[in-house]
Amino acid sequence: MSPMLENIEPLIATERPRIWRYTYSAGPVRSRFLIEIRDNKKIFGTKCPACNSVYVPARPTCIKCFTTMDEWVEVSDMGVLISYTIVYQPEDIHPVESPFAYGMIQLDGADTSLAHMLGEVDFEDIKIGMRVKAVFKDERVGDIRDIKYFRPR
C-alpha cells in the first residue's frame, strides 16, 4: 500500500437496494444461441457475410462492418484461454462462492471470445493460451450458465 494511503479510511457511498422489477427478452438471435446450448449442448455463432467474422456469443450485426448477420455456424465447445481473472471478493450476485476464476475463451471456429467461468483447475495452473473445453450442466434451462464452466483440456 502506498504510504500516502495508510491512514485514509475508504469512502463508502450509500448503498442503494437493487430492485429487479422488469423482465426482458433475449431477442431472436440470443434466444437461438441459448436454445442450442440448452437443447443440444451445441454452441453456435453468427457469421458476417461481408467480412466472414464469426461471433460467439451470437449477435445480429457485425461490429466491424455493421452488416446484418443471419448465417449460423456451429463452433467447437473447445477453445483457447485468452485472458482470465481470479475473483476473491465475495458478492451476493456471484454464481458460485469465491474464490473462482473467470476467463475469456476464444472457441475454435470463432473470431471473438466468450466470458465464462473456469472450473476443475488449480489457480496456479491457469495459463493464457491453455486449451479449455465446455462442461454442460445436466439440467439446462436456456441460460448462459447452462455451460457450467470451461475446464482444461
**Mean pLDDT, each 10-residue run in order, the chain (153 residues):** 60 60 78 94 98 97 96 98 96 92 98 97 97 97 95 96
Q: What is the pLDDT of residue 52?
A: 97
Count up the domains in the chain and report the number: 1
Q: In this structure, which amino acid lies at residue 93? A: I
Q: What is the pLDDT of residue 19?
A: 62
Q: What is the pLDDT of residue 22?
A: 62
Domain that residue 95 falls in: 24-152
Question: At which residue does the C-alpha cell 460467439 appear?
Answer: 56
Cβ atoms of 117 and 100 within 8 Å: the answer is yes
> What is the dihedral angle through the alpha carbons of 76, 80, 37, 115, rounded to the nearest 10 degrees?
-150
In a domain, 18, yes or no: no
Does pTM surpass 0.75? yes
Nearest by Cα to 145 from 29, 30, 22, 38: 38
In a domain, 92, yes or no: yes
- Work out the percent of the chain whose per-residue pLDDT is above 70: 84
In a domain, 93, yes or no: yes
In a domain, 61, yes or no: yes
